[in-house]
Structure 1
Amino acid sequence: MNAFVHPSENRGHVKMGWLESKHSFSFGNWYNPEYMGVSTLRVINDDLIDGHQGFGQHPHDNMEILTCVLKGTITHKDSMGNHGGITAGEWQLMSAGTGIRHSEMNQGDEPVHLLQIWIIPNERNAMPNYQQIQLDPHDAPNQWHLICGPNDNAPMHIRQNAEVKTAVVIKGQKLPIEATQHVNYVHVISGKVQIAEHTVDAGGALGFLENSELQALEDTQVIWFDLPEHIE
């Protein structure tokens, strides 16, 4: 298999007071020219946010911003009038379009653990949009769960020819990886997997073009990005 291996230890590690973050790709003050994204996937930040802290009001435009809360609750507020909590097992997709301002705050005492994911859209300067769903793969393990995609059957609609799926896979179980687009990128949230001859630990990832199969070497949670070959 011709694969792009991204070990967890090669991620950027940023600690600034209330925020500890591990960056899969160059972001903010951490820059590595070898890690600038894969296809239209530009950001995977693994964030740990202290209690009563968070990201104050700030702007975005022309980016699809997906948030996966793994532990705790983050409170979202934006310039479109959306305001409420996103709890572990829930997903938020914010299509920034022509521009949006938002904040993401941990109003509790315990840290919040989340993934912040950015995907470059194939439509610029569209109307901003906000979507949120409940989808905890622990409730139905050993199968792929579609989070967002370009078609109407997806739980959330993304402005890109891409699908994002997640799964919890019990040790010893296998799942097929069969792309609808061209580029597969599998990020391991927790546990350990084997894909073809490659072993990937928590925080690591594997990018590849061929269809393949994932085997859980431990109880595992993964997120699979099925991406276009080129940025449109």
Structure 2
Amino acid sequence: MKTVLHPADSRGHANHGWLDSHHTFSFAGYHNPDRMHFGMLRVLNDDTVAGGRGFGAHAHDNMEIISIPLEGTLEHQDDAGNHGLIRPGDVQVMSAGSGIRHSEKNHSATQEVRFLQIWLFPDQRNVTPRYDQQHFAAAGRHNQFQQVISPSADDAGVWIHQQAWFHLADFEAGHAADYQLKKPGNGLYVFVLEGTATVAGQPLQRRDGLGLWETDSVTIQADSATRLLLMEIPMQ
């Protein structure tokens, strides 16, 4: 097994007043040649947007873009006619494909919205752009891995154009479980949303990230009440 540790305080950081963003990988004004991506995982941004503010209409192509709200309500609109609200418990996917313009803003005029913005390189280029989201009940991730992203519309979770599986988990202190990778050659990136955990023997704090590869299974133990995001992705 090989690993790479990304402590929370080693991330890139940009505070624009209306937007406070932490970048696990190189993004915008943050460039670190050692932090370009982890396999097909290109962007992991931990964003806080002030009330009444947001990202105006902008273009993307050939990227799988995943939004996971943590607090507050995010409002999405795109030039394919999609318009909706994304709340905690929801997971949204936008396959940019051949090209799409969209905007994201805080639906509240006064309260902050906190969300993860995640980009993956797709396994197909120039697909027809698409948008989808699902809600996942908290009970489904209590002391277990709740699948929220998959490569197939016939599997659990929102599907994307990549051989990737995402899981959320809420573990009680002391709970341990083994995550079995679904595809040979894939790696696993574990991001601690809240609490503390030990992953493959590595202690992790809130917002730490750990990438693991060349393994079939990873042991995860919660050292306190812990919320985790697991991203299994191809390494090449």
Matches within 5 A, 1:73-222: 73-108=73-108, 109-137=110-138, 140-151=141-152, 152-181=154-183, 182-209=186-213, 210=215, 211-222=217-228
SS in 2 for 1:80: coil
Hey, what does 1:20 align to over in structure 2?
20
Q: CA deviation at 1:138?
A: 5.4
Output the TM-score relative to the length of structure 2. 0.94
Output the TM-score relative to the length of structure 1. 0.96
Q: CA deviation at 1:205?
A: 1.0
Instruction: Select between 132-141 and 18-27 the one with higher mean Cα deviation.
Output: 132-141
**Aligned pairs, number:** 230
Q: Which runs of 5+ in 2 are unaligned?
A: none
Partners of 2:71 and 2:139 in 1: how far apart?
A: 13
Change in Cα spacing, 1:136 to 1:47, as seen in structure 2 (3 Å) is farther
Q: CA deviation at 1:84?
A: 1.5
Q: For residues 110-139 of structure 1, what are the alpha-carbon distances to aligned partners after superposition, in whole Å with 9 as ceiling and x for unaligned? A: 000000000000100000010110014455
Task: Assess if the C-alpha contact under 8 Å between 1:133 and 1:155 holds in 2.
Answer: yes
Partners of 2:134 and 2:32 in 1: how far apart?
A: 33
SS in 2 for 1:37: coil
* Correspondence 1:72 to 2:72: yes
Partners of 2:107 and 2:159 in 1: how far apart?
A: 28
Partners of 1:66 and 1:200 in 2: how far apart?
A: 24
Partners of 1:155 and 1:118 in 2: how far apart?
A: 17
Task: Assess if the C-alpha contact under 8 Å between 2:79 and 2:102 holds in 1.
Answer: yes
RMSD: 1.2
SS in 2 for 1:46: strand
Query: Match for 1:47: what amino acid?
Result: D
Query: Match for 1:92: what amino acid?
Result: Q
What percent identity do the matched residue pairs reach? 39
Query: Match for 2:191: what amino acid?
Result: H
* Correspondence 1:32 to 2:32: yes
Instruction: Select between 75-84 and 147-156 the one with higher mean Cα deviation.
Output: 147-156
Partners of 2:2 and 2:22 in 1: how far apart?
A: 26
Query: Match for 1:160: what amino acid?
Result: Q
Spell out structure 1 runs of 4+ moving beyond 4 A: none
Query: Match for 1:54: what amino acid?
Result: G
Query: Match for 1:187: what amino acid?
Result: F
Partners of 2:144 and 2:16 in 1: how far apart?
A: 37
